[in-house]
Amino acid sequence: MLDISSCPSSVQSWLTLKNSISQGLGDLVSFSIQPVFNGCLVLFALGYFGLLRWFKVRRLSKQFSWRRSLLSILIGIFLSGLLLLSSPGLALAYQGLVGLVPADTGKSAEAIVILGRGEFFAPQRAETAATLWQSQRAPLIFVSGNHQEYLKIVRELKQRGIPDAAVDGEFCSKTTEENAAFTAAALFPRSIRQILLVTDPPHLMRSLLTFQSIGFTVLPYPSPLPEALNRRQKTMLTLQEYSGLLSYALQGRFFPREIPR
């Protein structure tokens, strides 16, 4: 029986805020992927460059030059944000997330680590990990996520014929940082440091950098996104990962460090 009370207390206020932000961002994304948004964006861009041309023709006096510069900068920033939310911008942003992740080398590891992302993602992750285990890429599958994700993935692994002796994990983590810290706490005492890290493509870069910073040698391995995932959901994952990368970078979570206690 899983003893959830043994898990360290999490920052519930942050998780609540994160969910609220995600919901608001989702509403914005729902609008941004509509064709009308992209049409308006083109008109806005034409208007912006037209405005810059108007400033040039008017040849404003030097005393107003700072206003011209400030307005141009603010409009440029706003336009850049809109471009990011456009269909071409989002496609480019997604490729930026997945394109820098090293390709699979085929090397073996000491353990396969599956990161939770919600029960909806469990079947694909379990299938990926089971295939790696059956290919003898590692002798152990370690599941890291909250208790519901943990139970779901373990059930999926058993359905694919993975024996109980080859499955381990932790069910306390709610963030990527906790995934890395709690996994290290469980595997480092067993001298396991080289891992095949399984998660979805957008999440892989942040996970790779976080696990490496704690001391793991990471072989990243992408698990396919569920086919039922719609465009809005894929866009949300992309935007959330860029936000996560920025947040983790500002907190120094990508630099070598000791395991958080």
pLDDT of 79 above 70: no
State the fold for domain 105-250: Rossmann fold (3.40.50)
Tell which residue, 92, 87, 38, has the closest CA to residue 231. Answer: 87
Q: Please state, in angstroms and rounded to a whole number, the distance separating the CA atoms of residues 226 and 245.
A: 23
User: Quick check: 24 pLDDT over 70?
Assistant: no
Read off the amino acid at residue 124. Answer: Q
Task: Give DSSP secondary structure letters for 100-122.
Answer: TSPPP-----SEEEEEP--GGGH
Percentage with pLDDT > 90 across the chain: 51
**Mean pLDDT calculated for residue range 54-63:** 50
pLDDT of residue 82: 55
Is 70 exceeded by the pLDDT of residue 209? yes
Q: For residue 8, give Cα distances in angstroms to 12, 169, 181, 251.
A: 12, 15, 12, 21
Distances (CA, A) of 104 to 101, 210, 222: 9, 18, 9
- pLDDT > 70: percent of the chain: 65
Q: What whole-number distance in Å separates Cα of residue 52 and Cα of residue 48? A: 6
Rounded to an integer, the average pLDDT of 227-248 is: 84
Predicted TM-score of the model (pTM): 0.75
Task: Judge contact between 196 and 203, C-beta under 8 A.
Answer: no
Cβ atoms of 152 and 122 closer than 8 Å: yes
The predicted structure's pLDDT at residue 100:
87
Chain region(s) in the chain for CATH 3.40.50.620: 105-250
Give me the residue label for tokens 């067993």. Answer: 190
User: Position 120: which residue type?
Assistant: F
* Structure-block tokens of residue 187: 């595997």
Where would I find the H helices in the chain?
12-32, 35-58, 65-85, 87-99, 122-134, 147-159, 176-187, 201-214, 231-250
**pLDDT at res. 166:** 97
Q: Mean pLDDT lowest for which of 70-79, 140-149, 204-213? A: 70-79
* Section 147-159 average pLDDT: 95
- 36 φψ region: left (φ > 0), alpha (ψ -120 to 50), beta (else): alpha
Among 164, 186, 162, 163, residue whose Cα is nearest residue 173: 186
